[in-house]
Amino acid sequence: MGYKVAVVGATGNVGREMLDILAERAFPADEVVALASRRSVGQEVSFGDKILKVKALDTHDFSDTDICLMSAGGEISKEWSPRIGEQGCVVIDNSSAFRYDSDVPLIVPEVNADAIVGFTKRNIIANPNCSTAQLVVALKPLHDAATVKRVVVSTYQSVSGAGKEAMDELFQQTRSVFTAGQMTMAKFPKRIAFNVIPHIDVFMEDGYTKEEWKMMAETKKMLDPKIKLTATAVRVPVFIGHAESVNVEFERPLSVEQATEILRAAPGVLVVDKREAGGYMTPHEAAGEDATYVSRIREDATVENGLAFWCVSDNLRKGAALNTVQIAEVLINRKLLNRQKQAA
């Protein structure tokens, strides 16, 4: 008998991607339920070759649901995830609501799958920020080999990370540039079309943004609290796919050749690194793909034991929906989940 899975936020970018990935990976579900707010009730979403009608979150009974994939934003998650968890359903939450809670494991399966056992305290597992997810997938095998001391990362993040309205804004602004139409700004504080904005999430007192702080806090929680990390998060006029320029300082020497070999063997990583025109990955090529791509691996001679590399991934997949489904697969593969129907 398969599992019963609920997807909350099923009409959003990530929710739809979750449904696609559940179908693609033949997740062992007997029943998948699409949930959203009352205003979305009756909308139709695709699940493999099936069409699901969206139901209301606030009337769904989770007592016979095994896994809830939550992608409805932090406020909804804060209200509903604990209530769902108390009914015996395991919540895998894509928001930032519980990432920094010591009783909630923050998981990227290729990085810290063993930490998942801590979910039983609250029946909630957190999915990391999209920019952190791809970073730690690339850093983990290098950290195991030479111990990461310090990371300097600059991100080039697509507008899909800010939701469907942000994607619409980029499209509309781009069209306005060519038609001399009205330039409307709603999701972003400055024009995003043919521009870059060094501002993602709210500003904090120290001058960093919340997005940049998330990368620091989440890397420490998942990889190693001793790692020092500084980030500059930038929004770019790309629809899907985040890119990162990463400089790493290690405790021990690690050559470019050794790092390349390690990354080629690492789970979830694909190295595309030819020192020629086009011999690297871009967000356009990574869109729709599951891997975290690493390119342009080279020595950083400005520090002792330093390397630099370029990292690209589909933020809607590995940065969100895919990682969430992979966490659910870890629960099942490690036999950590009790079926609610049997329990009832």
Just list the catalytic residues.
130, 242
- Whole-number Å distance between alpha carbons of 15 and 170: 21
Q: Is 164 exposed, middle or buried (0-12, 13-18, 19+ CB in 10 A)?
A: middle
Question: Residue 99, annotated ligand binder?
Answer: yes
Inter-CA distances, 24 with 8, 80, 118, 259, 291, Å:
19, 28, 28, 32, 15
Question: Residue 160, annotated ligand binder?
Answer: yes
Question: Residue 13, annotated ligand binder?
Answer: yes
Decide: 174 and 194 in contact? Cβ < 8 Å: yes
Question: Residue 235, annotated ligand binder?
Answer: yes
Residue identified by tokens 């604990």 is: 82
Inter-CA distances, 251 with 121, 227, 298, Å:
35, 11, 17
Question: Residue 157, annotated ligand binder?
Answer: yes
Question: Residue 11, annotated ligand binder?
Answer: yes
Question: Residue 275, annotated ligand binder?
Answer: no
Question: Residue 25, annotated ligand binder?
Answer: no
Pure H helices in 158-197: 164-179
Angle value at C-alpha 245, between 244 and 251, nearest 5 degrees:
115
Residues of the binding site for phosphate: 99
Residues of the binding site: 11-14, 39-40, 99, 157, 160-161, 235, 315
Residues of the binding site for substrate: 157, 235
Residues of the binding site for NADP(+): 11-14, 39-40, 160-161, 315
